[in-house]
Amino acid sequence: EEGGVPLALDSNDRLPSPFAISNHRAINPLLGDREQFEKLVERVHQAGGKVIVDFVPNHTGLVCPWISEHPNYYHRDPNSPNHLLCEFSGDVVKLDYINPELAEVRWKVLENIVDLGANVVRVDMAH
């Protein structure tokens, strides 16, 4: 750790799926808070590096508050216990990306990533 910013992550510090997003606007606590992350980005840029941030528009984790606050954001599966369409690892829920309200929210998430100073956005499972 240097300057309050963790420099290495242990593979044991992950959830079963690192793409089980619970908050699209939050910084992973392993990388510090927003201020610490912005300092990290600044240091990377000062050293001539680039910052790549993942954006996961296809799904969220089962603990994402959108599930209860915005159930219309999700694909439904009447055969699943929670009536949500869970994908690949079982701990991610598929978003209904044709929902116009969700599309607007996702643009705001992307704007937040740009505001953090990302040079590149890697879009996971882009469709």
pLDDT tens, per residue, the chain with 127 residues: 444 444 444 444 544 577 788 888 888 888 889 999 999 999 999 999 999 998 988 889 888 999 999 999 999 888 887 888 887 777 889 999 899 999 999 999 999 999 999 999 999 875 5
For domain 11-123, which CATH number applies: 3.30.830.10, 3.40.50.300, 3.40.50.280, 3.20.20.80? 3.20.20.80
Q: In the numeric block, which tokens belong to residue 12?
A: 């044991």
| Contacting residues for 43 by C-beta, under 8 A, at least 6 apart | 3, 5
Q: What does the angle CA 39 – CA 15 – CA 93 come to, to the nearest 5 degrees?
A: 105
Q: Residue 37 has which token pair?
A: 């992350």
The H helix count followed by the E strand count for the chain is 3, 5
To 10 degrees, the CA torsion angle through 35, 39, 45, 50? Answer: -60
Per-position b or e across 54-78, b if 16+ CB within 10 A of its CB: ebbbbbbbeebebbeeeeebbbeee
**What pTM does this model have?**
0.74
